[in-house]
Amino acid sequence: MKNVADPIDRALLDDWQRGFPITARPFLRMANVLNIAEDDLLARLQRMVACGRIARVGATCAPNTISASTLAAIAAPPERIEEVAALIQDEPGINHSYLREDTWNLWFVATGPDRAYVDATLARLEQRSGLRVLDLRLVRPFNVDLGFRMNQPEAGKIPRTHRATDLSVLREDDRDILQALSVGLPLTSAPYAALGFDLGRSEDDILDRVAVLAEANIISRLGVIVRHRALGWSANAMVVWNVPADQVAIAGPRLALQPGVTLCYERTPVEGVWPYRLYSMIHAQSRLEALKHLSNAAAIPELAGVQYKALFSLRCFKQTGAMIAARPERAA
């Protein structure tokens, strides 16, 4: 793990990316496992947030369940990259925004409480930039639970079995909890009580709802959300594959299992502009390593002869939690 020599810090980053305790004193339970004081553990987390190794201690939610999202792209002329990137970042529902190696060079994820909100975001960006926005909607995930095994960088991703999401347990007042968890829990000894105070609810109510939402897989991951670039995974490529529609269901699960492939999903193509249906992310510690993973993936029988593009990330403009709960409407 890049520049993380302390074994306790390494254990915090490696062992707690999921499975964060849903109990009144979660950090005390973590500290007991690590055989350190709770105050020491909190100080370590606060320090790693401040230096950019950790984005937050909080949750990620199963895509397009409690809220809506889409991957989008704009082909910005080189002289307008900074301008258009600033327009994208200005939208409150944008939670990821990157510059990548391609004519379609600005890539971002638009999120919101519902699909109408996401559609309005994309329309507004088209109007403000004067450029076309590709709307590349998720069809189905093969692996979207991103995590990194720090102490075994050669293994890279943490494989997870896909679980179905049970939306029947969802209540309207869960949105505020999920929004707060996507921003991050306060790094205090009783974070769920602090969250409850902010929302005008009891600690027991918060604990009960978080447990229900995690069991239903609406919360797909609860734990330490790391910033992988700061920890050594600096060579990242989105690889898009022009797989025929009737072969995606076969190729996708196999691609998701390949070493170095950390995310894998099917998205809608854009006729005449963007034919790619199958997407994968490769996270590696060098470009050479990423290209090796790509070469191995391209060699599997299910992808034999398939046209693909590797869009390496050049710059990260924004990386934060998704928008889940509605916010006040923006002025036109």
pLDDT digits (tens, 9 = 90+) for 112-136: 999 999 999 999 999 999 999 999 9
Q: Give the pLDDT of residue 59.
A: 92
CA distance linking residue 110 with residue 242, whole number of Å:
23
Q: Give the pLDDT of residue 331.
A: 39
DSSP string, 132-143: -EEEE-EEEEEE
pLDDT in tens, 179-205: 999 999 999 999 999 999 999 999 999
Global pTM reads 0.81
Q: Give the pLDDT of residue 189.
A: 97
Q: Give the pLDDT of residue 312.
A: 97
Strand partners, 72: 108, 135
pLDDT in tens, 210-228: 999 999 999 989 999 888 6
Which tokens in the block code for residue 241? Answer: 């594959």
SS (H, E, C) 294-322: HHHHHCCHHHCCCCEEEEEEEEEEEECCC
pLDDT in tens, 224-241: 988 866 566 678 899 999
CA distance linking residue 104 with residue 285, whole number of Å:
24
CA distance linking residue 102 with residue 312, whole number of Å:
8
Q: How far apart are the first and last CA of the chain?
A: 45
CA distance linking residue 241 with residue 275, whole number of Å:
9
Q: Give the pLDDT of residue 327.
A: 57
Tallying the residues shown for the chain, one arrives at 332
Q: Give the pLDDT of residue 235.
A: 84
The percent helix, strand, coil of the chain (3-state, each to 5) is 40, 25, 35
Helix (H, G, I), strand (E, B) or coil at 101: coil
* Interacting residues of 295 by C-beta distance below 8 A, sequence separation 6+: none
Number of continuous H segments (helices) and E segments (strands) in the chain: 10, 11
Q: Give the pLDDT of residue 176.
A: 93
CA distance linking residue 94 with residue 87, whole number of Å:
10
Domains of the chain, each with CATH number or no CATH? 1-138+145-231+318-326 (1.10.10.2890)
Helical spans, DSSP H, in 186-265: 191-199, 203-215, 248-256
Q: Give the pLDDT of residue 74.
A: 98
Query: What does pLDDT average to in each consecutive run of 10 residues of the chain (332 residues)?
Result: 74 90 98 97 95 90 86 98 97 94 97 95 98 97 66 47 80 92 95 97 98 94 82 83 96 93 94 97 91 96 96 91 65 38
Closest of 298, 295, 277, 276 to residue 287, by C-alpha: 295
CB 218 within 8 A of CB 169: yes
